[in-house]
């Protein structure tokens, strides 16, 4: 299979590039190297026979020299959900850039798999569901509460409305792209899958406080750095998904979306670890402290706009349709991140 990974030098893209190349696929990567640390993958791409192009999806001309492929994995984005200082930057990267890739797919007759986000769902809508503190996390506490797209035991499904405010600018840019892909796919026959991912983590993720919090926690713990928890006292909950589980799912979706009888024309999936693979920030801190004590943890009372108290993906649809389920636990995933940190300690110390 010929695969183009847009944003392929970043965390998700690079892990996919190496995994898919090992599984016999022909991989091309496009990346503008804006994300810190992404430039460190270029030499490895060359060593492993992965073609790399420097380019920016905001410039349609940068796509013109790319070879024809069977499917595009669109991972490129400005991923920070607290960027309100420059909203135009989010829209040009995460929406106009997607439009350029969609048009490229239309003319080159390539399928598309898109990285959307749980931030397409309004924080106001998600936080309206009653919850309370139990032990070290928030839990939903009213099984009789009714909301379309939410289930007391399973979490948020694809039926949850994307209407409303309080998405973050990042989330808004993804809503625009999400709907645009659905429209283009239906109107122009572009086979496509849209994954509304929750928390993704793994090695090769240059985490920071604004984005990539699981990797940032492990990095801060390993390098004895101060940590700030924003709002909710650390009781907020996310379901998580580590790179081995992401890679397995995407390969299954590649085969599905490129099949001659593919029925995927803007298929939407909520993707994460689900209820069984969820963690609160407090629980994450407790788990990591088993390996090393913390330098300093500061709890900031002020909530960040569009932050969700509890977000757990209902993954029943994606599990059933692709015969897939998460396997990597929080402890296992953090162990892999810590091993990557220690293997690359000299490089990472210079940055952190």
- CATH number of the domain where residue 85 is located: 3.40.50.720
- Give, as one character, the DSSP assignment of residue 63: G
How do residues 22-76 score in pLDDT, each as one tens digit? 999 999 999 998 777 778 889 999 999 999 999 999 999 999 999 999 999 999 8
Instruction: State pTM to two decimals.
Output: 0.95
Q: What domain range includes position 126? A: 2-351
How do residues 256-276 score in pLDDT, each as one tens digit? 999 998 999 999 999 999 999
pLDDT at 96: 92
Cross-strand bridge partners of residue 6? 30, 74
Q: How large is the average pLDDT for residues 334-343?
A: 96
How do residues 67-124 score in pLDDT, each as one tens digit? 999 999 999 877 665 667 778 888 888 899 999 999 999 999 999 999 999 999 999 9
pLDDT at 287: 96
| Buried-state track 118-133, b at ≥16 Cβ within 10 A, e below 16 | bbbbbbebbbebebee
Please give the Cα distance from 332 to 312 (Å, whole number): 20
Cross-strand bridge partners of residue 52? 29
Per the structure, how many domains does the chain have?
1
Query: Rounded to the nearest 5 degrees, what angle is found at the Cα of 306, between the Cα atoms of 300 and 311?
Result: 90
């Amino acid at each position: 299979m010929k695969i183009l990974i847009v944003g392929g030098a970043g965390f998700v893209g690079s892990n996919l590039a190496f995994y898919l190349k090992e599984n016999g696929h022909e991989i091309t990567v496009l990346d503008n190297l804006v994300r810190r640390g992404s430039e460190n993958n270029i030499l490895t791409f060359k060593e492993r026979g992965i073609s790399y192009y420097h380019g920016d999806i905001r410039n349609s001309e940068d796509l013109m020299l790319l070879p024809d492929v069977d499917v595009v994995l669109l991972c490129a984005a400005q991923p920070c959900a607290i960027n309100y200082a420059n909203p135009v930057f989010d829209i040009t990267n995460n929406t106009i850039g997607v439009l350029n890739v969609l048009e490229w797919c239309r003319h080159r007759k390539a399928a598309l798999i898109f990285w959307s986000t749980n931030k397409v769902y309004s924080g106001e809508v998600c936080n309206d569901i009653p919850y309370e503190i139990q032990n070290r996390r928030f839990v939903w506490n009213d099984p009789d509460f009714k909301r379309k797209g939410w289930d007391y035991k399973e979490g948020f499904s694809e039926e949850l409305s994307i209407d409303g405010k309080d998405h973050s600018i990042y989330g808004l840019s993804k809503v625009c792209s999400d709907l645009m892909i659905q429209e283009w796919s239906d109107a122009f026959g572009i086979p496509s899958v849209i994954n509304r991912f929750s928390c993704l983590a793994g090695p090769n993720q240059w985490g920071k406080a604004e984005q990539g919090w699981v990797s940032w926690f492990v990095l801060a713990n390993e390098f004895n750095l101060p940590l700030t928890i924003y709002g909710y006292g650390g009781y907020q909950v996310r379901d998580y998904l580590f790179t081995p589980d992401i890679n397995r799912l995407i390969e299954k979706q590649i085969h599905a979306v490129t099949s001659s009888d593919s029925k995927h024309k803007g298929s939407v999936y909520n993707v994460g670890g689900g209820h069984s693979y969820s963690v609160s920030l407090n629980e994450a801190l407790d788990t990591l402290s088993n390996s090393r004590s913390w330098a300093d943890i500061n709890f900031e009372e002020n909530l960040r706009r569009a932050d969700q108290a509890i977000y757990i993906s209902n993954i029943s649809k994606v599990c059933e349709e692709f015969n897939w389920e998460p396997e990597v636990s929080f402890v296992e995933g953090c162990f892999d991140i810590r091993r990557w940190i220690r293997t690359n300690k000299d490089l990472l110390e210079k940055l952190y």
